[in-house]
Structure 1
Amino acid sequence: MSLIAPPLSLYVHMPWCVKKCPYCDFNSHGLRSESPPYAAYIDHLLADLDADLRDFGEAIQGRSIISVFFGGGTPSLFAPELVERLLDGVRQRLPMASDAEVTLETNPGTVEHGRFDGYLAAGVNRLSFGIQSFDDAKLKRLGRIHSAGEAEAAVKSAQDAGYRNINLDLMYALPEQQLDGALGDVERAIALAPTHISHYQLTLEPNTAFAANPPPLPDDDHAWAMQEACEAHLAAAGYGQYEISAYAQRDKRCEHNLNYWRFGDYLGIGAGAHGKISASADGSVRRRWKTRLPRAYLDASGGAARIGGDSMVPADELPFEYMLNALRLIDGVPAGDFAERTGLPASSIAPALTQAQAKGWLEDRPDRLKTTALGQRFLNDVIASFLA
């Protein structure tokens, strides 16, 4: 089994946030009385990267980074000079494409005025704002620390600083939300003229405060009506849907996330970060994730204890893993990409493809793997059909 090495990205996890939101199941940790060791964390991130580069060896050698994504937590708690130090360290260790997309997640309530120009100078060329809603009552219910007015002011401040590539995260099907409320959020987002909008349904995730004490959410039919209406509104404003929850202006799709969805490779550094690396020499696909707790990650100092898990993806699980990502894309992917990214022959998924096409979930075409409108609505069922 052999495969072609796909594009390579870098994910950097910044685990701290001001306050944990009740719906959040990400590896984020609210601030306590003492300030986190932000500067020391940068040193540990670079030590983590050094160790990964040694471990992955030839699988990484000669490959350039096409995108960097600072996720969290709230990465904007880190000062621009710390972000710059990390990016400088990455460039010293790995070649980075001249047009590499570098995204920083930020919350409107955590960025001081004047910091945006600092992030831009540091090399961050794309911002992603965690807005979620422009309804103050809904923001309070979601545990957010900003108001709608602060969100709008933060986005405009970033634009004034020179940012031309901005994403806004919005959620729908919020507690007791009606259709007009979901549409109102989309309208206010569009009015700010971001280049990209991520619009996704609030779901109750295990081990969250909302899961333990569920708020009253719209039922599936109402949530679907919100999704369809908002999708049409976004399309009319020039935001084309290219993934289940992603909408972008022309040529402004998120390259980092596209690499995930196309089953590309990515290094993951930081507490709880996940990575995936393909080795063209033996056709293996390897996943590695780091220990979740920031204190344990810091104590590891770039050593073996920083690794929370490390395993090869079994060949019979690769079809499911591939489809879990690729079928989220509205336009699908070239059919030949499956073999290139997994090293498996097309015949290995032929029975599942035939079954999905017969159910009207996938288009019946030899050149592309692409869901139908029905397949998009029942995407979980489509993907499950590729389980071993």
Structure 2
Amino acid sequence: MPSSPQRLSQGETGFQLPPLSLYIHIPWCVKKCPYCDFNSHTAGPNLPEDAYVDALLADLQADLEHVHGRALTSIFFGGGTPSLFSAKALGRLLEGVEQRIAFAPDIEITLEANPGTFEQAKFRDYRHLGINRLSIGVQSFQAPKLIALGRIHNGDEAVRAADMARAAGFDNFNMDLMHGLPDQSIDDALNDLRIAIAQGPTHLSWYQLTVEPNTVFWNQPPVMPEDDVLWDIQEAGQALLAAEGYAQYEVSAYAHAGKAARHNLNYWTFGDFLGIGAGAHAKLSNPNGRISRSWKTRLPKDYLDTRKRFSAGERALEVDELPFEFLMNVLRLTDGAASELFTQRTGLPLTQFAAARADAEQRGLLISDPSRLSATREGQLFLNDLLQHFLP
């Protein structure tokens, strides 16, 4: 790496404060799935809705000094299962957020929901609150696969969830679907995709099941498909999605024209985001070009303890980390990004990683185009190998 150049501050040529999003973590689920390594916890009979909303608003209030009066372009309720919370609780939360930070006129507000928690009246109320996008965690429509994954819904409930979403006024919704499930064949995977497509979602998140540490599956591994079957599923599924009008724009994201997830696109283009809630993460830039990552206390009982701090840690990114941090996100996008975005987001010149870029291009992993940073087809398939070139 070359010696560290001076970062450019806002107002100078180059660095610009990026769009700002808000992630809100709701950490409770009806049941913990055996593959899940997220910060989620089995809900008791009484969710502490009021106390948690109070904590979220206090958490946000403490973070406001870092966002310099900027407006939110998107909000994402993730979990856990945010749809366990009542419309009353989410309404009080959204009202409190908007009192503290401005909403962009076209703000995208997404709520994650599981089919087993769908109630028509509740979802109509969510829509009236201004939530304008749903992400429905289906994973599969087939009973044996849902049982293996520990899901609480069945295939019919997943189909009804899509019907209820539309009836509640959601004309923009995503379905989460997994492939590479225990004992899954190519036909099984494609049947799941066909059923999902028939429900008319504007967006599909279609990703391969991976076995992660600290999960039940890690300690009790299921029988997974062979690598050649996984490859065939991936190719056949991508062809089906393309034929049905879903363009792949990210490693596991497919959407109709104009329906890419704006919140996630902000992540992948190295935008800024606040994170509130138990275990939530944030990435923020300040006008002088300093970029930091931070995270909140993880356990809900500690997060709700008014004697304890919400913040669990923060660190500023070093200059020599920025190429990897930026490209780790941008290269997930099938079209990558304009080269100039690196300077706009980091305040650094492209010469900061010129040698690594040239090497990746020579190896056929990065497209040779001075105006874009984009992985080749081979680079997309071997993204970890590509990113190794840019490690500090």
The TM-score bracket by the shorter chain reads: over 0.9
RMSD of aligned Cα (Å) = 1.0
Residue 135 of structure 1 pairs with residue 139 of structure 2: no
Give the counterpart letter for 2:55 in structure 1.
H
Alignment of 1:48-197 (within 5 A): 48-54=59-65, 56=66, 60-197=67-204
Alignment of 1:298-309 (within 5 A): 298-300=304-306, 305-309=309-313
Alignment of 1:268-287 (within 5 A): 268-281=275-288, 283-287=289-293
Give the counterpart letter for 1:376 in structure 2.
Q
Which runs of structure 1 show a deviation greater than 4 angstroms over 4 or more consecutive aligned residues?
Answer: none
Query: What is the CA–CA distance in structure 1 between the aligned matches of 2:72 and 2:342, rounded to whole Å?
Result: 22
Q: Deviations over 1:14-48 (max 9, x none)?
A: 0000000000010000123x422012101110000
Match of 2:314 in 1: 310
Query: What is the CA–CA distance in structure 2 between the aligned matches of 1:62 and 1:132, rounded to whole Å?
Result: 39
Match of 1:46 in 2: 57
Q: Deviations over 1:245-291 (max 9, x none)?
A: 0000010000000000000000000000000100122x110111001
Q: Deviations over 1:37-91 (max 9, x none)?
A: 012101110000000113x2xxx12311000000000000001111111111111
Query: What is the CA–CA distance in structure 2 between the aligned matches of 1:223 and 1:35, rounded to whole Å?
Result: 41
3-state SS of paired residue (2:174): strand
Give the counterpart letter for 1:40 in structure 2.
A
Match of 2:359 in 1: 355
Query: What is the CA–CA distance in structure 2 between the aligned matches of 1:344 and 1:175, rounded to whole Å?
Result: 45
Match of 1:294 in 2: 300
- Asked whether the equivalents of residues 81 and 122 of structure 1 are also in contact (C-alpha less than 8 Å), the reply is no
Structure 2: where are the runs of 5+ without partners? 1-6, 9-14
Deviation at 1:313, TM superposition (A): 1.0
- Asked whether the equivalents of residues 120 and 168 of structure 2 are also in contact (C-alpha less than 8 Å), the reply is no
Give the counterpart letter for 2:144 in structure 1.
A
Query: What is the CA–CA distance in structure 2 between the aligned matches of 1:82 and 1:385, rounded to whole Å?
Result: 46
Give the counterpart letter for 2:389 in structure 1.
S
Normalized against structure 2, the TM-score is what? 0.95
Query: What is the CA–CA distance in structure 2 between the aligned matches of 1:113 and 1:9, rounded to whole Å?
Result: 28
Alignment of 1:313-332 (within 5 A): 313-332=317-336
Match of 2:374 in 1: 370
Match of 2:263 in 1: 256
Q: Deviations over 1:233-255 (max 9, x none)?
A: 01111100000000000100000
3-state SS of paired residue (1:349): helix
1:29 corresponds to which of 41, 49, 59: 41
Q: Deviations over 1:157-196 (max 9, x none)?
A: 1111111000000000000101011101100000000000
Structure 1: where are the runs of 5+ without partners? none
Q: Deviations over 1:297-351 (max 9, x none)?
A: 00046x6x21111110111111111111000000110001111111221111111
- Asked whether the equivalents of residues 248 and 254 of structure 2 are also in contact (C-alpha less than 8 Å), the reply is yes
Q: Deviations over 1:100-158 (max 9, x none)?
A: 00000000001223211000011100000000001111000000000000010111011
3-state SS of paired residue (1:109): helix
Query: What is the CA–CA distance in structure 1 between the aligned matches of 2:46 and 2:358, rounded to whole Å?
Result: 56
Give the counterpart letter for 2:320 in structure 1.
D
Greater displacement, 254-263 / 153-162: 153-162
Residue 340 of structure 1 pairs with residue 341 of structure 2: no
Query: What is the CA–CA distance in structure 2 between the aligned matches of 1:31 and 1:88, rounded to whole Å?
Result: 25
Normalized against structure 1, the TM-score is what? 0.96
Identity level (%): 54
Query: What is the CA–CA distance in structure 2 between the aligned matches of 1:114 and 1:92, rounded to whole Å?
Result: 26
Give the counterpart letter for 1:14 in structure 2.
I
Query: What is the CA–CA distance in structure 1 between the aligned matches of 2:389 and 2:213, rounded to whole Å?
Result: 24
